[in-house]
Copies of this chain bind each other. A is one copy, B any other.
């Protein structure tokens, strides 16, 4: 047998017990918050028909989808000339009719259309599943990664937007983040800005440029806008908007002035104000909510609110984002179904928490108590004690007899087991078992009953 060490495909990962414990802590926390706000979980298949996915992510997306080779004699119906052409792109349609999920949004849209008669609207769903992209792997970018999305469809109420702000706040606060900002913008404000300088047609160029304000500064933005055909005069008019200062209320007031001639822009201001009012009446835990009109994410897609979440404790891209869209399901022929959604960037949140050392000890601890035995007699003696511990719902293990105590202790340490119970002939005779706190190193002689009591309280 070859002994070449096996490996995972490029860009994919195994998750060890320690990593899974931390990942579960993140996902369980976020899911519990989703549920608290009335969002319900669904799952969709890993594979979707190519007819469902094709054309939904642009050319780049079509290329980066992992396609599944048809099963059986997949070449049997391919005409010879198709084969000899050796045209990879051209042949795909003949030998593959399925691909791996590329995101959770298109499958969700497909789900809503397919099950529209069984769904109660507004439909508040969350979904936590892996997606696959044949991107070039690099630090922090994987070919398989989990997305973690919540969406509501069939409601245009701004209550939903306010609740998304609360969900971000509650989930990330629960995870232990202390200083983070939920940025909010509104597509209608961006449209209004373009409108008041008569550049509605150039809204993409405009927002792409001002989105870079952080990175390239006002001069950079100006230079970029000039190359895109904006005049000095346009830019002069834009300046007060781009360089908006003050509290959210002050920014809104300035915006209302600047957008006075745009009904759309004012509508955007109204929407933001409604969300701010909801949040003012229910103070956030740790998050700061900040109106940021440079925020543009996925502009083609969003029609109302736009969200992005940034931690201020470590250097890191956005850890969440989302917004409102008017037409999620139009691509599958179901029109006019409004919705809004957010997503959490689980991998980045993981890295942030790791860097800030935020994972609670209990979240990463597995077994609470390990019984270590000197020999077979001790194992037999320990077996009923093990049952008593588990009857109290204490996570407990008995190390099978036959290993040196050193090895058993290493096992406890490597598995981050909090307590060990040592049993040898002396302990059996006296009924006083050696009970050790593996974190403090403290060791006591206690009866089985006392140990159970101590572990129940620990």
Contact = CB atoms under 8 A, between A and B. Distances in A.
Interface in A392-431: 393, 395-398, 400-402, 410-411, 414-415
Contacts of A46: 12, 46, 100, 130, 132, 144
Contacts of A122: 400, 411
Interface residues of A, number: 106
Interface stretch (A153-161, A181-189, A309-317): A153-161
A302 to B, nearest CB: 19
Given A7-B49, A36-B393, A379-B159, A42 B14 contact: yes
Interface of A: 1-9, 12-17, 20-21, 24, 35-38, 40-49, 51-52, 63-64, 66-69, 71-76, 78, 80, 83-84, 86-88, 91-92, 95-98, 100, 110-111, 113-115, 118, 120, 122, 124-125, 130, 132, 134, 144, 155, 157, 159-160, 278, 281-282, 330-334, 366-367, 370, 379, 383-384, 387, 390, 393, 395-398, 400-402, 410-411, 414-415
9 contacts: A5-B113, A8-B110, A16-B115, A67-B69, A68-B100, A69-B95, A73-B88, A83-B84, A120-B414
A51 B83 contact: no
Nearest to A413: B120
Contacts of A400: 122, 155, 157, 159-160
A86 B74 CA distance: 9
Contact of A113 (B6, B37, B91): B6
Nearest to A125: B17
Contacts of A42: 14-17, 20
Given A66-B71, A74-B88, 8 more contacts: A3-B333, A14-B43, A14-B115, A38-B396, A63-B71, A76-B88, A122-B400, A282-B384
Chain copies in the assembled complex: 2
B41 A20 contact: yes
A387 to B, nearest CB: 5
B2 A120 contact: no
A121 to B, nearest CB: 8
3 tightest A-B contacts by CB?
A3-B333, A157-B400, A17-B40
Nearest to A397: B38
Contacts of A84: 80, 83-84
A9 B49 contact: yes
